[in-house]
Chain A
Amino acid sequence: MNRATTLATAQRVLRQLRHDPRTIALLILVPSGLMVLLRYVFDSKAAFNGLAPALLGIFPFTLMFLVTSITTLRERTSGTLERLMTTPLGKLDLLVGYALAFGAVALVQVLAAVGVSTALGLNVKGSFWGLLLVTLLGALLGLALGLFTSAFARSEFQAIQFLPLIVFPQLLLCGLFHPRAQMATVLRWASDFMPLSYSVEALKRTALTTDLGGAYLRDALVVAACALAALGLAAATLRRRTA
């Protein structure tokens, strides 16, 4: 990996975003806005406290998935990816550059959402930093999955369809709608294989209990490992030579 080209890539991605202020506004404001919505749908601080931690993980995960799959697809269809692959730039330089740039965006997004949630009465009993860390890992996971799945989309239309395919099952099974322990065995197993389940579990723990034990660490590590694995898979989809 080369530091100069990695940083140049991150800088380039951020520059592209800077020329698109509407996307920046949407990225930063939408999760916060949804938290406001959530707070008043239930109109109860207790209910909000129960759901907000999980959603703080889910929103950045989903948005990053969407943003990166579209951006990478554009890179593929516009020919810029093919061009980059004819230069000495390494595949990892490109992917890590993307991860750095969108990771920075995710950080701002998460900080805004956590700030708004706190103002709305979210009471982080455990560790605020623990919450932030897992939220960011979730965003990185979404990013890596987005990079990976975009390789299988021929058009932006198809890329969007991967959202219900990859993200929605994880949403349904992550324990947000129904406790994982009470699910049918098969669904429990499926849920065990979905990284979002671990992210949501860790978030609940950081927000609702003061005890950040080994279980938190294990969950956070699972999310991080999944993000890295997806990034590795994404690197494998970048080809210097195509048929």
Chain B
Amino acid sequence: MTYAIARLALAPPLAPALTDAVTHSVVQCENLLVQRGGRTVLKDLSFEVAQGTVTGLLGPSGCGKTTLIRSVIGVQTIRSGRLTVDGLPAGHRELRRRVGYASQGASVYLDLTVRENVRYFATAVGAPASDVDRVIEEVDLGRLAGQLTGQLSSGERSRVSLAVALLGNPRLLALDEPTVGLDPVLREQLWSLFARLAKSDITLLVSSHVMDEAERCDQLLLMRGGELLTQATPAELKERTGAPDLDKAFLRLLQQTGNAA
């Protein structure tokens, strides 16, 4: 699987029929252009996200990560380009059951308990009642299920938000900075959860600005200033730049592309 992705990234001109035979892309994006308030926030982005992988979306803050995630889940108005999820245009009615989303701030009700939050969103998503306890356990909040969400720490709140995203049976999980404010132990737990989910064929698009998290991704999308610098696996990125770690690899890439432009 990883090999297939690597080929996809290294040889973009590959015939579509051939790549489809190798791996199925859940997200396909061609020449995506997004403008907000007269400013171009995403400039001509093209990439694909393969099924059952964790794709990390990395780049400095303000580079357009959140806008890209919002475009993929279909809440962002697109100026031009083609963006499909599971073969349907992003935001399609049918996708509302297939895409799980957690925004950067914990978008849950602070004046409800953890369980009340999850239960309500479960009804909204159309997930079975048994899902409520499952997702609460999955983010390790069983102990706090009866607590008011507003009384939790910010890390705990973002886990409530993540639990909601896991409800139902999403084919794609779009998570905007899900590990911000979490301690190393919890971050490790979440990335293990992401890997487990990917194994069960769920596709994850996870944004982060912490480079050491990039190491845990199957595939990386590196962005800067609304542009996609590259799509590569962590190993490829290090090889291509000759850097010992991803942090330095990204910096070198920034310098290289900066010089090229």
- Residues of chain A at the chain B interface (Cβ within 8 Å): 4-5, 8-9, 11-12, 15-16, 19-20, 78-80, 82-89, 240-243
Q: Mark B96-112, 1 if CB is under 8 A from A, else 0.
A: 11010101010111111
Query: What's the minimum C-beta distance from B249 to chain A, rounded to whole angstroms?
Result: 33
Is B64 an interface residue when CB atoms closer than 8 A count as contact? no
Which of B75, B121, B123 has most A Cβ within 10 Å?
A: B123
CB within 8 Å for A243 and B77 given contacts A16-B109, A78-B107, A82-B103 = yes
The answer to whether A16 touches B112, judged by C-beta atoms less than 8 angstroms apart, is yes
> Chain B contacts of A88 at CB under 8 A?
93, 96-97, 124-126
Q: Among the listed B75, B77, B121, which residue makes an inter-chain contact with A82, where contact means beta carbons less than 8 Å apart?
A: B75
CA–CA, A77 and B253, complex, Å: 37
Is B175 an interface residue when CB atoms closer than 8 A count as contact? no
Query: What's the minimum C-beta distance from B130 to chain A, rounded to whole angstroms?
Result: 16
Which residue of chain A has the shortest Cβ distance to B103 in the bound complex? A79
Q: Which 9 A-B pairs have the closest CB atoms?
A: A79-B107, A8-B123, A89-B124, A87-B124, A12-B120, A83-B107, A88-B96, A243-B77, A16-B111
Query: What's the minimum C-beta distance from B125 to chain A, rounded to whole angstroms?
Result: 5
Is B74 an interface residue when CB atoms closer than 8 A count as contact? yes
User: Would you give 22 A-B contacts (Cβ < 8 Å), ordered by A?
Assistant: A5-B124, A8-B123, A8-B124, A12-B109, A12-B112, A12-B120, A16-B111, A16-B112, A19-B112, A19-B113, A79-B107, A80-B109, A83-B103, A83-B107, A83-B121, A87-B96, A88-B97, A240-B74, A240-B75, A241-B76, A241-B91, A243-B36
CA–CA, A4 and B123, complex, Å: 7
The answer to whether A241 touches B75, judged by C-beta atoms less than 8 angstroms apart, is yes
B: contact size bracket: 20 to 34
Which of A5, A85, A243 has most B Cβ within 10 Å?
A: A243
Which of B75, B91, B101, B148 has most A Cβ within 10 Å?
A: B75
Is B223 an interface residue when CB atoms closer than 8 A count as contact? no
Sample of 4 more A-B contacts, CB < 8 Å, known A78-B110, A86-B99: A16-B111, A83-B121, A87-B121, A242-B77
Which residue of chain B has the shortest Cβ distance to A80 in the bound complex? B107
> Chain A contacts of B109 at CB under 8 A?
12, 16, 78, 80
CB within 8 Å for A84 and B124 given contacts A12-B109, A16-B111, A243-B77 = yes
Question: In chain B, residues 61-93, which have Cβ atoms closer than 8 Å to a Cβ of chain A?
Answer: 73-77, 91, 93
Which residue of chain B has the shortest Cβ distance to A12 in the bound complex? B120
Query: What's the minimum C-beta distance from B65 to chain A, rounded to whole angstroms?
Result: 16
CA–CA, A12 and B148, complex, Å: 14
> Chain B contacts of A78 at CB under 8 A?
105, 107, 109-110
CB within 8 Å for A242 and B107 given contacts A5-B124, A84-B124 = no
> Chain A contacts of B121 at CB under 8 A?
83, 87
The answer to whether A79 touches B116, judged by C-beta atoms less than 8 angstroms apart, is no
CA–CA, A20 and B109, complex, Å: 13
Is B164 an interface residue when CB atoms closer than 8 A count as contact? yes
Which of A12, A84, A85 has most B Cβ within 10 Å?
A: A12
The answer to whether B125 touches A87, judged by C-beta atoms less than 8 angstroms apart, is yes
> Chain B contacts of A87 at CB under 8 A?
96, 121, 124-126
> Chain B contacts of A82 at CB under 8 A?
75, 103, 107
The answer to whether B108 touches A86, judged by C-beta atoms less than 8 angstroms apart, is no
